[in-house]
Each structure stands twice: as structure tokens, then as C-alpha cells.
Amino acid sequence: MEEKQAGRQEWVRAEGNTATSVHLESKGAKTVMPDRNGDRNLPRFAVLGAGHGGVAMAADLSLRGFSVSLYNRTQERIDPIIARGGIEVDGEVRGFAHLDLVTSHMDEALAAADVVMVVVPAFAHEWMARECAPHLRDGQIVLLNPGRTGGALVFDNIFHQKKVQAEVIIAEAETLLFASRNVGPGQSKVFRIKNAVPVAALPATRTREALQQINAAYPQFIPAANVLKTSLDNMGAIFHPAITLLNTGWIEARMGEFEYYLEGVTPAVARVLEAVDAERMAVARALEVRAISAREWLEMAYGAVGDTLHEAMHNNDGYSGIKAPPNMKTRYLSEDIPASLVPISSLGDYLGVPTFTIKTIIHLASTIHGVDYWKIGRTVKTLGLDGFSVAQVRKLVEEGRKAVH
């Protein structure tokens, strides 16, 4: 039986009185998964966002045998997936994934989910938190993939403002697990799955509880000390804005037809990245957080090593084949400036830590886009930390907002 409704599509098979989800035939190979919805030992996932990361994650989870609902705000983005009957994925993950539910209705997407994977650009976090709030239920885990800088704090602050009564765990990943791209309608290519990605819950006392569910699908997620650690080890802040801005001419002339990480990062560009990295780690130290360097992160996430950041990046096979943005209207600026660099610099100002290089990058991006990213970006105030001492900030992330007031 195939059931279609406006804004969603489910694939189900009737067996007596029970509807069970199955994978259908793809390219001559038939793969029928067990009754995932009936297996109480497997968590059910909702993936919110049908961009590059969300489509890859939804497909991968389904191919691993998990029940998956995919949500997107706009129907147009998911129509090709519905028309194809699923997602074709290639690269490090291969197969044709039939999802249990594809929908543009938040209530439907969250109804059966145990784990809610938020996979949207960070500038959509506030909107997503407000949309989720009325539909959450006790016991759900909301994981931001990634949180960028302060994503979990944003969700926690909004849930507090909206007086959410459901007992949920908010968590954030340090970075996106997948290096992937949507390569066509309902098609995804996974270039690499990272070896390890730290995750922390807010409060930190619930991190291991959250990972008990999440690790059923992804053992690559490992516990981090707290959300200050995951937020300040946000490598998108290091690798995206500066590389993009320092390759502006090449991006506009070649429309992105070059290797972003490998050709776009010359020794001089890498030195600017190292300066941004040093300022980030200085802000972290002021919050009593031991942030890892970009070189340490490359070794942890990809197994890529080198004596310099330039060398380590060029030794990373996971970056091979990833092209630059086709133009300067890219989330590497529109997301990573307001949701990564602005909050780091705002924290720096609050704590008396200079961030000259980061401020220069923010200024250049604001000039190129004609947007005042200082006004729209995350700040100490919008993160709900205004007036907090370092000790109070740490109490918040360790024990929760109620422990501070």
C-alpha cells in the first residue's frame, strides 16, 4: 500500500494488521530491512533539514536499518526525493535509501522520533528551535549537527523563553559528521565520514545519556566536556570564512571550479587560518576551556597530520574533490560569520581577549555582502550569557540554566 498526502510521502507495506517499513528494489538488488518501527531496541530518527548534510545523514541512517523521517521547511526541496521514492547516495556510502517519512510538517516529523537530528545552517537555529518547541515530548534528544558556536545555548534560551515543558536533552556536535554534497535531485555524494566527532549535552551531566541513543547509529560521536568545548572547537570558524574571503577573486572568476581546501589553501592562506585559530583558542582559555588546535582536529577527525596547518590540510584525503562555492553568496560566510566568528569575537570582547584577525574577517564579509554581521550575529546577549561571570557560565553548561538562577 502506498499512501500519499500533501506535504509528505510514506512507504509502507501491509502485512495483516501491521504496517511495516521496507526498502524497495534499487538497481536490481533487493534489500528488505526488518520491521524497524517494531524494533524497540533501535532509536527512531528525525532529520530536520534536506540540505547537503541532512540528505546524506537521512540516507545513511536508513541504509543502516534505522527508521528515518526527513523534514524540510520548503516543500520544493523535498519534492525530488518524493518523486524518486528515496535518496540515491554514492561515495563512502552507497545505495538507494527509502525513508519512512518525507514531510514539510514539523509535527509529523517529530511524532515518532527518539533522536532529532537538526542538520541546518546555524542561521536557521533560532527558527528551528521555535518551530520544534510546541511538538517536543519527554525523552527526546535534540542534537545540532553542528551547533557552530553556541547553538545549544541558543536552543536552550529559546526553549526557556517558550516555556517548553517537555523533558528533552539538547546536545550539539562539534562539526558535521559527513563531508557531503547534494549532486542532483534526490542524489547525494558522501566524500568522507569523520573518524570521531565530539558531542556535548546541555547540561553536561546528560551527555552520556544522550550518547547511549545516538551511538546506536553513530559510534563516531564521542563525549566532550561540555558545550563550551564543542562550540569553541568549531572548525568551521577556522576553515570556512578566511579561505573563502582570501579566494574571492578566484571564486568569482572560476565560479568555484577549483579544489576549495587543497588549491584554495596556500601557505600564506594557511598562516591567516593559524592566526584565527590562535585567537579562538585564547578566548577558550579565558573560559577555562582547553581548545584543540586546527592541526590536532585534522588528525582526530581525518587522521591527517603535518608539521604545519598547510601540510596537514593537504594530507587530508577527505578534502579531495570538494569544490569551492560557485559565488560569494555562500553559507561559508552567511552562516559561519554570524554563528561562528561573531560569537567568538563577542566573547573575546566580554572577557577582554583581543580578536583582531577575526574582526578583520567579519568586517570584510560584511563589506562584501552589504550586511552588518555584528548586528545579526550571535552575541553574549543573544546566547543568554550577558551579566554572567565565567564561573556562572561554566555552572550553566555543567548543570543547566536552573542551577544559575
Catalytic residue among 60, 114, 233, 336: 336
Q: What is the mean pLDDT of residues 240-249?
A: 98
Confidence of residue 11 (pLDDT cuts 50, 70, 90): very low
Q: Give CA separation, 66 vs 23, 83, 107, 217, 394, in Å.
A: 11, 22, 20, 8, 36
Catalytic residue among 52, 125, 240, 310: 240
What are the tens digits of pLDDT across the range 372-392? 999 999 999 989 899 999 999
Q: Give CA separation, 121 vs 60, 175, 176, 285, 343, in Å.
A: 20, 12, 11, 27, 15
Reported in sequence order, the residue ranges of 145-211 that DSSP labels E, i.e. its strands, are 169-173, 178-184, 187-193, 197-202
Confidence of residue 247 (pLDDT cuts 50, 70, 90): very high
What do you get for the CA distance between the two ends of the chain, in Å?
54
| Encoded amino acid at 90, one letter | D
Confidence of residue 196 (pLDDT cuts 50, 70, 90): confident
The yes-or-no verdict on residue 311 having pLDDT over 80 is yes
pLDDT at residue 5 in the model? 38
Q: Is 216:65 a contact under the CB 8 Å cutoff? A: no
The yes-or-no verdict on residue 28 having pLDDT over 50 is no
> Percent of the chain beyond pLDDT 70?
90
pLDDT at residue 301 in the model? 79
- Annotation marks residue 336 as catalytic: yes
pLDDT at residue 370 in the model? 97
Query: What are φ and ψ of residue 193, in 5° steps?
Result: -105, 125
pLDDT at residue 9 in the model? 39
pLDDT at residue 40 in the model? 55
- Closest among 398, 386, 403, 384 to 154, alpha carbons compared: 384
**Out of 47-56, 104-113, 155-164, 257-266, least confident range:** 155-164
The yes-or-no verdict on residue 201 having pLDDT over 50 is yes
Average predicted confidence (pLDDT) for the chain = 89
Of 2 and 243, more confident: 243
The yes-or-no verdict on residue 32 having pLDDT over 70 is no
Q: Is 251 helix (H, G, I), strand (E, B) or coil?
A: helix
How does 196-208 read in b/e, with b if 16+ C-beta sit within 10 Å?
ebbbbbbbbebbe
- Closest among 93, 54, 51 to 76, alpha carbons compared: 51
Residue 386 CA to residue 399 CA, distance in Å, equals 18
- Annotation marks residue 138 as catalytic: no
The yes-or-no verdict on residue 18 having pLDDT over 90 is no
| Burial bucket for residue 366 (CB in 10 Å: 0-12, 13-18, 19+) | buried
Q: Give CA separation, 274 vs 137, 222, 225, 269, 357, in Å.
A: 43, 26, 24, 9, 10
* Domains of the chain, CATH where assigned: 2-232 (3.40.50.720), 236-403 (1.10.1040.10)
Spell out the residues 6+ positions from residue 81 whose beta carbon is closer than 8 angstroms to its own: 50, 55, 70, 87, 99, 102, 185, 186
pLDDT at residue 147 in the model? 94
Q: How many CB atoms sit inside 10 A of residue 276's CB?
A: 22
What are the tens digits of pLDDT across the range 274-307? 999 999 999 999 999 999 999 998 998 789 999 9
pLDDT at residue 404 in the model? 82
The yes-or-no verdict on residue 14 having pLDDT over 90 is no
Q: What is the mean pLDDT of residues 352-380?
A: 97
Q: What is the mean pLDDT of residues 174-198?
A: 91
Of 201 and 5, more confident: 201
- Closest among 169, 354, 364, 328 to 253, alpha carbons compared: 328
- The owner of cell 569544490 is 323
What are the tens digits of pLDDT across the range 75-134? 999 999 999 999 999 999 999 999 999 999 999 999 999 999 999 999 999 999 999 999
Q: Is 316 helix (H, G, I), strand (E, B) or coil?
A: coil
Q: Is 318:191 a contact under the CB 8 Å cutoff? A: yes
